[in-house]
């Protein structure tokens, strides 16, 4: 979603600026493709490095907590008891949960990570390449969406309107999570679309002003 939103906003802003500057459609299309490809590569590597750093950090935390469970079980039990009480469990419930955790150290470790560090142990098994690839592809596709009207012989105003409309619809769909009905949030979608519209307007005006110099 982040890669797609970035691609849509930056793509529509860039193409609007070039349209406002009065550049030929062929130039806008080539520049848009180059921008989309460069942005996708940048998104891929930045997402990969960020996710790899997150996974490496979690694995270090897991090893540390695992060692503490093995070498300092009494202290770790007290910490977990305190966390369970803080989460609202009564003494009987705490006793039952601790009895279960002390019999399964893997479960104990996962619960420690979840309650103490607020992280999910499953994140350590996530392939950083998959997330990064998805972010890069989303950036490229949504960026190219704003370029697509310039591939046709359209009046300049129609191409601009088509580019902005497609991009704003994509931003609304991403921001509102329209593809997940149970999490549909139209307000967030409208906010995302508003950001895209503002970016397109500002860059179009800037392109127009530059062309007049």
pLDDT mean over 116-129:
76
Q: Output the pLDDT for position 166.
A: 94
* pLDDT-above-70 percentage for the chain: 99
Query: pLDDT tens for residues 11-58?
Result: 999 999 999 999 999 999 999 999 999 999 999 999 888 888 888 888
Of 65-79, 120-134, 152-166, 181-195, which range is least confident?
Answer: 120-134
Query: pLDDT tens for residues 135-177?
Result: 999 999 999 999 999 999 899 999 999 999 999 999 999 888 8
Q: Output the pLDDT for position 117.
A: 77
- C-alpha 170/C-alpha 150 separation (Å) is 17
pTM for this one?
Answer: 0.75
Name which of 108, 115, 117 is nearest 84 in CA terms: 115
SS (H, E, C) the chain: CHHHHHHHHHHHHHHHHHHHCCCCHHHHHHHHHHHHHHHHHHHHHHHHHHHHHHHHHHHHHHHHHHHHHHHCHHHHHHHHHHHHHHCCCCHHHHHHHHHHHCCCHHHHHHHHHHHHHCCCHHHHHCCHHHHHHHHHHHHHHHHHHHHHHHHCCCCHHHHHHHHHHHHHHHHHHHHHCCCCHHHCCHHHHHHHHHHHHHHHHHHHHHHHHHHCC
Instruction: For 118, list phi and psi in degrees, rounded to 5.
Output: 60, 45
Query: Residue with structure tokens 């893997």?
Result: 106
Residue 60's pLDDT band (boundaries 50, 70, 90)? confident
Query: pLDDT tens for residues 75-105?
Result: 988 888 898 888 888 888 888 988 898 888 8
The residue length of the chain stands at 213
- C-alpha 65/C-alpha 212 separation (Å) is 63
Q: Output the pLDDT for position 116.
A: 81
CA distances from 3 to 37, 121, 153 (A): 13, 25, 29
- C-alpha 77/C-alpha 102 separation (Å) is 8
CB contact at 8 A, 141 and 4: yes
């Amino acid at each position: 979603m982040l890669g797609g939103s970035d691609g849509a906003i930056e793509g529509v802003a860039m193409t609007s600026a070039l349209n406002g500057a009065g550049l030929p459609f062929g130039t806008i299309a080539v520049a848009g493709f180059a921008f989309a490809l460069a942005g996708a590569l940048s998104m891929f590597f930045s997402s990969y490095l960020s996710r790899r750093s997150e996974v490496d950090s979690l694995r270090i935390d897991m090893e540390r907590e695992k060692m503490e469970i093995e070498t300092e079980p009494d202290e770790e039990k007290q910490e977990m008891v305190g966390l369970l009480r803080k989460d609202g469990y009564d003494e009987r419930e705490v006793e039952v949960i601790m009895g279960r955790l002390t019999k399964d150290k893997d479960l104990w470790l996962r619960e420690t990570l979840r309650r103490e560090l607020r992280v999910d142990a499953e994140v350590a098994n996530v392939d950083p390449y998959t997330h990064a690839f998805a972010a890069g592809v989303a950036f490229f596709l949504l960026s190219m969406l704003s370029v697509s009207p310039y591939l046709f012989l359209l009046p300049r105003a129609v191409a601009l309107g088509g580019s902005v409309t497609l991009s704003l619809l994509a931003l609304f769909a991403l921001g509102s999570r329209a593809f997940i009905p149970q999490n549909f949030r139209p307000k967030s979608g409208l906010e995302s679309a508003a950001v895209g519209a503002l970016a397109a307007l500002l860059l179009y005006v800037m392109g127009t002003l530059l062309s007049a110099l």
